[in-house]
Chain A
């Protein structure tokens, strides 16, 4: 059978629409890629998938019906890892889930189930880290702003956490790597895209953009951080295990 390459728009809905297509046409020799990351495939028919919400919904509901409970979110978490080829791993896994009579989300002896669980765990860790390491700065127009560059696309996962927690202040968390962000406007959270000013430095708190108070509070926090350290118990190794160096750029106290 001829190989088919499905190309979707990069969204989770788009991906689920592609899955729908696989089952609808009973495609067996098929691979799925996002449009921004397609490999050159010489001997395959390339086909663009149209994202359709109702089809995506049907796939999602179908998965939930498979006695999955919360486990179904593992698939979403793994999808957000944006790892190269994760779509095809997910496809394997979803096929296996639909084919089985009994719930198989925890059957780690199946290699694709195990792999998905491992990736989902990595994404979950990154989510938790971002909930901890996001640092807001108050801009001159009264918005609490934070920029991040997470390893995975975790913004959709942390949205609820911050919405519940900071219900009375406007805030933006911006993913510089993926060039989009979350904006909470005191009513709800929306996705936004910003063009940051030329002279905006993401690691320096300049009073061109942030309030004078902001600099003062950052200093207070730094002082606090230094004062709570007990020098005679210094344990550099443990410190770096908890806060790996690649996260220091978010943390004003580590600058």
Chain B
């Protein structure tokens, strides 16, 4: 392999792939059984972290940044004047293997601009994965991008070699998509996602009967939405997200604050702030939906279309629903414990475990690790002390903000000043 040429391609094609946030390498079940290379079993490993604090777990590259589409939000759009490059299939295989052997990475995340047509592109992505599995005996993690519009047959094959498949819908609404990517069709995104979902269900049910059934995309599917490019409300975004979790059994939906890359007047200007705090609030909502038993409409609905930036979504829900509180830590069920601001799922389990032995007081709760600054207004425990004042939601919010210092303080004041 010619290092100089590969080096230049790598710079271009890694740079173009970096806006894809997914870097998960967990959840696979690929045992190294035949003295091959690699062993992807369950736990993911982050091998490094970039200066923006994101983990580097996979070799994340595009096969090519040539693209026939002209999506306004994308760096590799047809009309953008940038250097173009394309890897050969063998080059990607070699890079993956060599990096993996040195313990740099957990595997490969291969995406691509669309050249010629969807199937032609998807075919090449599949070829890379197939070669890695069949010729190199590689058992590391492979994440392939499903190309919108790719045929069912190719998607079926992709899942046999890849651990995870993802198709990024990028724009959370059909109207936004029409505006920013007029030559893309919403249904083209759905089709491969749907195919993969059905295949996963089918392979899993067959595996129950015939043990030798091959594994199919064991780490499931994910998608990504760009935040702050097309004017959707948080309500719309989370509705879409919820829809994808429910309907297509996605493992993850990623939210990616839009990094301005274009002078297109349909989009935020270059130099405007990346909405990192908003992104964070959306992830918090996502977690509340998936692990805390909240329904999306409890947090966001037609009356509350936007998440508060200065407080987290759970606290915000609690302040709107003060009639549900205070909660007695020693008797409340798991569902309600999980709804107390400042109490995470780990603390919920610890509380349930610990209260079997003794009644818990403030001291115990502090040791368990709950954030009393937030929680104290919403709970009672085995103690004479508790919040006796009849505080309004506004009072409580004020008191909490006064005491706590957000790690987003600087971002917060910046972002808020936008609305002044």
Query: Interface residues, chain A, CB within 8 Å of chain B?
Result: 128, 131-138, 144, 146, 164-169, 216-217, 219-221, 223-225, 227-239, 241-243, 251, 253-254
Is B48 in contact with A235, judged by CB distance below 8 angstroms? no
Is B36 in contact with A228, judged by CB distance below 8 angstroms? no
Q: How far is A168 from B276 in the complex, measured between Cα atoms in Å?
A: 43
- Residues of B within 8 Å of A254, CB to CB, are 48
Question: Of B7, B45, B101, which contacts A169 at CB under 8 A?
Answer: B101
Is A228 in contact with B14, judged by CB distance below 8 angstroms? yes
- Residues of A within 8 Å of B3, CB to CB, are 216, 219-220
- Residues of B within 8 Å of A166, CB to CB, are 37, 101
Question: Of B37, B50, B101, B104, which contacts A228 at CB under 8 A?
Answer: B50
Q: How far is A224 from B51 in the complex, measured between Cα atoms in Å?
A: 13
Is B7 in contact with A233, judged by CB distance below 8 angstroms? no
Query: Interface residues, chain B, CB within 8 Å of chain A?
Result: 3, 6-7, 10-11, 14-15, 17-19, 32, 35-39, 45-56, 59-60, 95, 98-99, 101-104, 137, 257, 259, 274, 276
Contacts A217-B102, A227-B11 known; 11 new A-B pairs at CB < 8 A: A164-B32, A165-B39, A167-B39, A220-B7, A220-B95, A223-B14, A229-B50, A233-B54, A233-B257, A237-B53, A243-B48
Listed by A's residue number, 16 A-B pairs whose Cβ atoms lie within 8 Å are: A165-B39, A167-B36, A168-B37, A168-B137, A216-B3, A217-B102, A220-B6, A224-B14, A227-B18, A228-B14, A228-B18, A229-B51, A232-B274, A237-B53, A239-B49, A254-B48
Is B38 in contact with A225, judged by CB distance below 8 angstroms? no
Is B59 in contact with A238, judged by CB distance below 8 angstroms? no
- Residues of B within 8 Å of A242, CB to CB, are 46, 49, 53, 55
Q: How far is A221 from B48 in the complex, measured between Cα atoms in Å?
A: 11
Q: How far is A224 from B32 in the complex, measured between Cα atoms in Å?
A: 27
Q: How far is A35 from B151 in the complex, measured between Cα atoms in Å?
A: 68
Is A144 in contact with B48, judged by CB distance below 8 angstroms? no
Question: Smallest Cβ distance from A133 to chain B, in angstroms?
Answer: 7
- Residues of A within 8 Å of B104, CB to CB, are 135, 221
Q: How far is A227 from B46 in the complex, measured between Cα atoms in Å?
A: 17
Q: How far is A164 from B14 in the complex, measured between Cα atoms in Å?
A: 29
